[in-house]
Amino acid sequence: MSGTSVLAGPAKLYIGGEWAEASDGARRDIISPATGTKIADVPEGTTADADAAIAAAKAAFPEWSAKSGRERSRILGRVAQLLGERLEDFAQAETQDVGKPILFTRMIDIPTAIEQFEYFAALAQTLDGAVRETPLPALSLVRREALGVVAAITPFNFPMILSASKLAPALAAGNTVVHKPAEDTPLSAFLLAEVLADAGVPSGVYNLITGPGAELGNHIVAHPDVSAIAFTGSTTVGKHIASVAGANLKPVMTELGGNGANIVFADADLEAAVTTVINAFVYNTGQFCMSGTRLLVERPIHDTLVGILADAVPHVPLGSPSEPGTVIGPLVSEKQRTRVQQLVDRAVADGGTILTGGSPLDLDGGYYYPPTIITGVPNDSEAVQEEIFGPVLTVQAFDTEAEAIQLANSTRFGLAAGVQTADTAKALRVTKALKAGIQWVNGWAMLDPSVPFGGYKDSGLGRESGPEALLNYTRSKSVTISVPPAP
């Protein structure tokens, strides 16, 4: 992979429609996960920079929120168009920055971000209030209004998708935004700021600040002029943000950790199930909150399915993310690879057996980890109960439908789940009983901007995508007008 950044020039903060260095001039190196070498350096913003970004967003809010939905729709539609014109730039940025295979950044990540802006551009025109019939001698109106300044704090694993899933509905609803991307993977955010400016998003409506997550994130979340927070990341950080927001009675939307159960019943199409299982745990090198990392297999087909997986998984193409045939790239950092290895080691210590993978790969100086399958892990093992965030699959057998549901619901997470079965009635029963916010039957990760997703339990609050997301970024105002009786 090239060591040259896709950015045309030095990266800068984008505040109030102007590009600027950090107030103290500090910068941070960005390291390629594929080679361990520097590919760029970016501003290390300060709390003073965050204050300036928030002030710019606050100043821009009255004019932006006063625009009609149709006006905002036109601008967001232009954003989608320009993203399409620069798709290759964005795909290369995600691949260099995150280590995502170019196959997926071209075919999934950037097209999905474009779809988010297209969808919410259309939905912006539908945001209206209602007239409510009541027995009162009055006319009751319900209006929907934007919240104000939204802090969008996005993670390292899907920078463009998870930025678009927040920015598009927030802007469509009439809010202004301060965007703080993950400190390790900010490159596409600089390109996105360029596109938003070129599309005609007014100065101050979108502001970009990069820098240390803990310091800047805490400052932004607690700032009195931030009206709402949209965050994707770890459950620990999400709970902290929710507590700070709660103390200040701010709306908060959090999409947090996951540890998805993928249930395969004996009546499932075995060939299709194998493909689904592999895709569900290796996609994005397992750095996917909706990964199907817990495989639950009905006992009559357990040994057969596991045997097929053990033979197939080592052949999934792994290597440089810039190669068009690569399916599995590197993990985002050495720190993340070390964490994955520690959880694999604990699974073995708890009685698990590694069928394939299980140790880091030495390849081009990057942070590679092979797809790993572990059987015989007890349900109370940390490898089963916690999010691994790497290409690791634990396998458990079950005997009854009730046991499968119990195992699937036995963690503190509740984001995604899958059911592989030929029995529609069974699929409906099981999906109703599963405590997960988004589920798939005979597939995995089938997503669309019109379909909401979000979690139960420790997997978060609120929903992204769909009309539900647009409503998250508004509040209702009720106005009742007395109507005197006719003379």
Is the distance from CB of 209 to CB of 49 less than 8 angstroms? yes
* Residue 315 DSSP one-character state: G
Numbers of helices and strands, H then E, in the chain = 16, 22
Residue 145 among the catalytic residues:
no
Q: Report how far residue 292's alpha carbon sits from residue 283's, in angstroms, rounded to the nearest whole number.
A: 9
Active site residue 100: no
**Annotated catalytic residue, options 94, 118, 183, 255:** 255
Q: Which residue's structure tokens are 């030929």?
A: 422
> Does the annotation mark 255 as catalytic?
yes
Q: Is 139 exposed, middle or buried (0-12, 13-18, 19+ CB in 10 A)?
A: middle
Helix ranges restricted to H, 14-158: 47-66, 69-85, 87-98, 102-104, 110-123
Q: What span, in angstroms and rounded, lies between the C-alpha atoms of 97 and 156? A: 9
172, 74 contact by CB (below 8 A):
no
| Catalytic hit among 166, 180, 183, 298 | 166
Query: Is 359 in contact with 332 (CB distance < 8 Å)?
Result: no
What six digits make up the tokens of 158? 């899907």
Sign of the torsion formed by the C-alpha atoms of 376, 382, 385 and 388 = negative
Give the whole-angstrom CA distance, residue 236 versus residue 397: 30
Q: Are 297 and 304 in contact (CB under 8 A)?
A: no
Instruction: From the candidates 44, 298, 387, 464, give the one annotated as an active-site residue.
Output: 464
Six-digit token pair at 145?
């209004």
Quick one: 60 exposed, middle or buried, by C-beta within 10 A (0-12, 13-18, 19+)? buried
Strands (E), 391-473: 392-398, 413-414, 416-420, 438-441, 456-457, 460-461
Expressed in angstroms, the distance from the first to the final Cα of the chain is 82
Element (H, E) at 338: helix 334-349
- Active-site annotation holds for 464: yes
- Which residue type sits at 239? K
CA 230-30-222 angle, to 5 degrees, is 30
Q: Tell me which of 58, 118, 183, 289 is the catalytic residue.
A: 289
Residue matched to tokens 């199409």: 269
Alpha helices per DSSP H over 86-205: 87-98, 102-104, 110-123, 159-172, 187-198
Instruction: List the catalytic residues.
Output: 166, 255, 289, 464
